[in-house]
Amino acid sequence: MSIEELTVNYTAVVIAAIAGFGAMAIMFGASYILAPKRRSELKDMPYECGIPPSPYSWSQLHVRYYIFAILFLIFDIEAVFLFPWALIFVNAIDAVFYEMLIFIAILFFGLMYGWKKGVLQWR
């Protein structure tokens, strides 16, 4: 694939981003013109099901989200390695195939170890 083709293809991607932005800008503009704006103190309060909201809103969050985020990072980066391999391994030499199987096995046993340790349990 030539550089020129790459430019042409990804120009379309950039144009799509700009078009999406533009469409939203038109919509928000229309809403800005059409929609009524009547502010009141009660209406602008955060909605917490009718109970008066307590002032500290950015509350602390449980650490369990963090653990799953780390797990996701590992498995998502693994995808970057797996995709190029998936396209070529059939015609490549055997070592390529076995090496990636070992890589997948390490990841899989890592997952099993985490499972055994109770990392995957939502607490």
Partner 1 sequence: MSLLDLLKTISAIMGMLTVLSVIVLSLTLLERKFIGRIQMRKGPNRVGPFGLLQPVADAIKLVAKEDILPTWVDKVIYWVSPLVVFIPTFMIWVTIPVARDVVIRNLDMGLFYIIAFSVLSIVGLISAGWASANKYAIIGGFRAAAQLISYEIPIILSVLAIAMLAGSLNLERIVDAQATKPYIFLQPLGAFLFLCGGLAELGRTPFDIHPAESEVVGGPFVEYSGAHWSVFFLAEYINTFAIAALTTLLFLGGWLFPGLPGNVTASGVLVFLTKTYLVVLVIFWFRGTYPRLRIDQLMSLGWKVLVPLGFINVVVTAVALKTELPEIILGLISFVILASTFWIISVRMRTAPKPEYTVRLYDPSLEGLNAR
- List CB contacts of 36: < 8 A, sequence separation 6 or more: none
Does the footprint of partner 1 cover residue 21 (CB under 8 A)? yes
The C-alpha angle 22, 9, 78, rounded to 5 degrees, equals: 100
How many Å apart are CA 94 and CA 101, to the nearest integer?
Answer: 11
- List CB contacts of 89: < 8 A, sequence separation 6 or more: 96, 97, 100
Q: What would the two tokens of residue 64 be?
A: 């369990």
How many Å apart are CA 93 and CA 12, to the nearest integer?
Answer: 37
Binding mask 51-90 for partner 1 (x = CB under 8 A): --x---xxx-x--xx--xx-xx--xx--x--xx--xx-xx
How many Å apart are CA 62 and CA 42, to the nearest integer?
Answer: 31
Q: How far is the CB of 111 from partner 1 (least distance, A)?
A: 7
| Chain centroid to CA 10 | 21
Does the footprint of partner 1 cover residue 48 (CB under 8 A)? yes
Does the footprint of partner 1 cover residue 36 (CB under 8 A)? yes
- Which residue in the set 9, 99, 106, 113 belongs to the binding site for partner 1 (CB under 8 A)? 9
- Which residue in the set 13, 63, 93, 102 belongs to the binding site for partner 1 (CB under 8 A)? 13
Site of interaction with partner 1 (CB under 8 A): 1, 4, 7-9, 11-13, 15-17, 19-21, 23-24, 27-28, 30-32, 34-38, 41, 43-49, 53, 57-59, 61, 64-65, 68-69, 71-72, 75-76, 79, 82-83, 86-87, 89-90, 97, 100-101, 104, 107-108, 111, 115, 120-122
